[in-house]
């Protein structure tokens, strides 16, 4: 099939393959730019609502086109039928692989900024990213679980178990009283990897104070967050711990 662009027709096979892969990359970047600009102009709550609408529409037509070209069937919403046919174990493995890819990409971005601009610049970028990612993650987890606007501590406990980190790390919940509980990250893949390489803990208090309070508030505005401990200040049995309290 000939392209409308004569320049594309001049690419050899390897160049054309690379061009296709980079076109997918370009689509991801453009989607993210739209998200950022709509948030800038209209606020986070507005962009989350728009993202839900756009993503569902994109899924239907993008997966439909890809399915025809790559030979996989999709339903009317664009969900590949192969996913529906996979076992729970296979789907869990796929979810964990996606989470691992997310974490690796996050680390690569941090390292790239750190090499170019230093540790403090990388930490600032990381903290700002989490100020948006945590509410986004909470928004979609609430949809998956069918949580209402004020699901309380029970909703937060359930939501913490569906974050990307929950698929990669070992975590636990410890009751304090009827209005509060403590969440512990008992094994953190990032910190364990640093320890294995002989590196000190990454001091993640600043990002934690963005990540956890914004996630909890996005689940239920009444929930407040207190840092119990965070690297490099932590005991052997956990890396970070957070106390969540239902106000009112």
Same domain, 18 and 64: yes
Q: Tokens 């949580």 belong to which residue?
A: 147
Same domain, 220 and 108: yes
Same domain, 78 and 93: no
Residue 17 has pLDDT above 60, yes or no: yes
pTM of the full structure? 0.90
Copy the structure tokens of residue 191.
Answer: 């910190």
> What is the per-residue pLDDT across 102-147, written as a single tens digit (0 to 9) for each?
999 999 999 999 999 999 999 999 999 999 999 999 999 999 999 9
Same domain, 99 and 210: yes
> What is the per-residue pLDDT across 187-208, written as a single tens digit (0 to 9) for each?
999 999 999 999 999 999 999 9
Same domain, 81 and 91: no
- State the residue range of the domain holding 122: 87-248
> Which strands sit side by side in the sheet containing 223-229, from one edge to the other?
170-177, 180-187, 240-246, 223-229
Residue 211 has pLDDT above 60, yes or no: yes
Same domain, 231 and 118: yes
Contact present, 207 and 126 (Cβ < 8 Å):
yes
pLDDT of residue 2: 59
Q: What one-character-per-residue DSSP string does 83-152 give?
A: HHHS-HHHHHHHHHHHHHHHHHHHHHHHHHHHHHH-HHHHHHHHHHHHHHHHHHHHHHHHHHHT--S--H
Return the closest-CA partner of residue 207 out of 138, 131, 149: 131
The mean per-residue pLDDT over the stretch 51-58 comes to 95
Same domain, 77 and 122: no
pLDDT band for position 6 (50/70/90)? confident
Residue 3 has pLDDT above 90, yes or no: no
Return the closest-CA partner of residue 7 out of 24, 25, 23, 19: 19
Domain end (from 32, 63, 85): 85
For the chain, percent of residues with pLDDT exceeding 90? 94
> Which domain CATH number covers 146?
3.30.1380
The mean per-residue pLDDT over the stretch 205-218 comes to 96
Copy the structure tokens of residue 56.
Answer: 């569902």
Cα distance between residue 72 and residue 62, in whole Å: 13
Tell me the CA end-to-end span of the chain in Å, nearest whole number: 65
CB count in 10 Å sphere of residue 181: 20
Residue 82 has pLDDT above 80, yes or no: yes
Mean pLDDT of the chain: 94
pLDDT band for position 1 (50/70/90)? low
């Amino acid at each position: 099939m000939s392209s409308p662009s004569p320049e594309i027709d001049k690419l050899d096979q390897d160049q054309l393959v690379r061009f296709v892969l980079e076109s997918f990359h370009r689509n991801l970047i453009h989607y993210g730019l739209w998200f950022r600009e709509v948030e800038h102009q209209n606020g986070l709550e507005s962009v989350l609502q728009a993202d839900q609408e756009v993503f569902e529409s994109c899924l239907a037509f993008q997966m439909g086109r890809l399915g025809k070209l790559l030979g996989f069937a999709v339903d009317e919403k664009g969900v590949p039928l192969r996913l529906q046919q996979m076992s729970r174990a296979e789907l869990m493995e796929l979810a964990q692989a996606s989470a691992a890819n997310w974490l690796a990409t996050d680390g690569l971005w941090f390292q790239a900024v750190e090499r170019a601009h230093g540790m403090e610049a990388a930490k600032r970028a990381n903290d700002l990213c989490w100020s948006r990612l945590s509410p986004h993650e909470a928004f979609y987890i609430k949809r998956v679980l069918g949580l209402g606007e004020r699901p309380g501590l029970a909703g937060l406990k359930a939501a913490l178990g569906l974050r990307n980190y929950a698929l990669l790390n070992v975590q636990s919940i410890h009751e304090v009283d009827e209005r509060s509980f403590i969440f512990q990250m008992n094994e953190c893949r990032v910190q364990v990897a640093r320890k294995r390489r002989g590196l000190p803990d990454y001091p993640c208090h600043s990002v934690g104070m963005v990540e956890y309070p914004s996630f909890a508030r996005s689940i239920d505005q009444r929930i407040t967050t207190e840092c119990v401990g965070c690297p490099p200040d932590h005991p052997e049995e956990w890396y970070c711990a957070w106390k969540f309290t239902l106000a009112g």
